[in-house]
Structure 1
Amino acid sequence: MIFYPPDGRIPPMTPQGQKRAAEAIERRKRVGRWDMAESNDLDDRCLMMLGSGPPMLNTGYNNNYRIVQAPGYVMILVEMIHDARIIPVDGRSHVSPQIRQWMGDARGHWEGETLVVETTNFNGKNPLRDSSENMRVIERFTRVSDDTIRYTFTIEDESTWVRPWSAELPMKKTVGPIFEHACHEGNYGLYNTLAGARLEEKKAAEGAAKKK
């Protein structure tokens, strides 16, 4: 649930953000979805999905997380795509701005009973609504009962939205292991899709040649 802005809506995009979103749509129009691996969405390529985060959002399935604390670190194992977020909480600085990563560079600290995680240094390919490499995500994890963590996040991205926005959702404790996520059965779905597209192109070319 979005609680800021007060109207509960994601703020309008900046002109720069609108331009970037429009360019992305045009690129998808120019290139067929099955022309190459790179013309497919990140989730079809098994690289990243919205559930991976940050921010960590509910999807249609695989919404489980395992949080592990160790000296100097917090690790969040994400069921979706089976990512592992390694978050230092020892006070170290972020890596160089020249280093850009799919899930950004996370640094955590404690504010009382709340774990605060700041993530920067994104590579500009995060699947969150055409966000940019300048996005900054601040997450807060607060255990409010034995079986519930209140998870809130704030998105700051002046290259994309006219103002920051924040949302909140509960994380409920569950019992049982998290099994490894197989993006495609056997992880060969995209290969077979592209191979099928090439076969269709070959058949079409052969059919056109016979008509000449």
Structure 2
Amino acid sequence: MIMTEMVHDVRIIRMGTPKPLPEHVKPWFGDSWGHWEGDTLVVETTNFSPTQLNRGQLSGATDNLKITERFTRADEYTLNYEFTVDDQETWTDTWSGEVPFTRLPGLVYEYACHEGNYAMFNVLSGARAQERREGGRQTPER
């Protein structure tokens, strides 16, 4: 299972021999199967929700979309993440990317609704007031 901090999205990654889900079952993040290749976890995902295929980076992808991901621990603080996107009906060739994930000290705070969250306004207001006191950039009072 992979759980992200944004809206507590969860991906279930089944391990072992792939057994396709019934055709009518379309998980939000697709049907993921994982296996190990040495120290690398390889995850292949197909059967994405049609809603997911019509948003963001996957916009325009078809039911034939397949994403292959590779997770490799590089050292104590780094997880290398590689992905390959394959949908020959949408793109003329596969395309790939790679991102190192670095462990950070401390907690990961939950994704929270920003309705009524005045933190950024307060931070900026405080910084402007400090600048005025120090004779820096002059900003008008609200």
Q: Which residue of 2 aligns with 1:107?
A: 33
Runs of 4+ in 1 over 4 A off after TM superposition: none
Q: Which residue of 1 aligns with 2:72?
A: 142
The normalised TM-score by structure 2 is 0.70
1:82 aligns with 2:12: no
Higher RCO (C-alpha under 8 Å, 6+ residues apart): 1
Distance 1:137 1:86 in 2: 15
SS in 2 for 1:103: coil
| Structure 1 gap segments, 5+ residues each | 1-74, 187-212
**RMSD between superposed Cα atoms in Å:** 1.8
Distance 2:58 2:13 in 1: 24
Distance 2:113 2:94 in 1: 32
Distance 1:183 1:120 in 2: 30
Which aligned pairs between 1:2-41 and structure 2 lie closer than 5 A?
Answer: none
SS in 2 for 1:96: coil
Q: Percent identity?
A: 45
Give the structure with higher Rg (CA): 2
More strand by share: 2
Which residue of the other structure, out of 142, 147, 153, is the alignment partner of 2:83? 153
Which residue of the other structure, out of 8, 15, 24, is the alignment partner of 1:98? 24
The number of residues matched between the two structures is: 112
More helix by share: 1
| Structure 2 gap segments, 5+ residues each | 117-142
* Paired amino acid for 2:29: M
Q: Give 1:125 shift.
A: 2.7
SS in 2 for 1:82: coil
Distance 1:179 1:155 in 2: 30
Q: Which residue of 2 aligns with 1:178?
A: 108
Q: Give 1:182 shift.
A: 2.2
Q: Does the Cα contact within 8 Å between 1:116 and 1:141 map onto a contact in 2?
A: yes
Q: Which residue of 1 aligns with 2:98?
A: 168
Q: Which residue of 1 aligns with 2:43?
A: 117
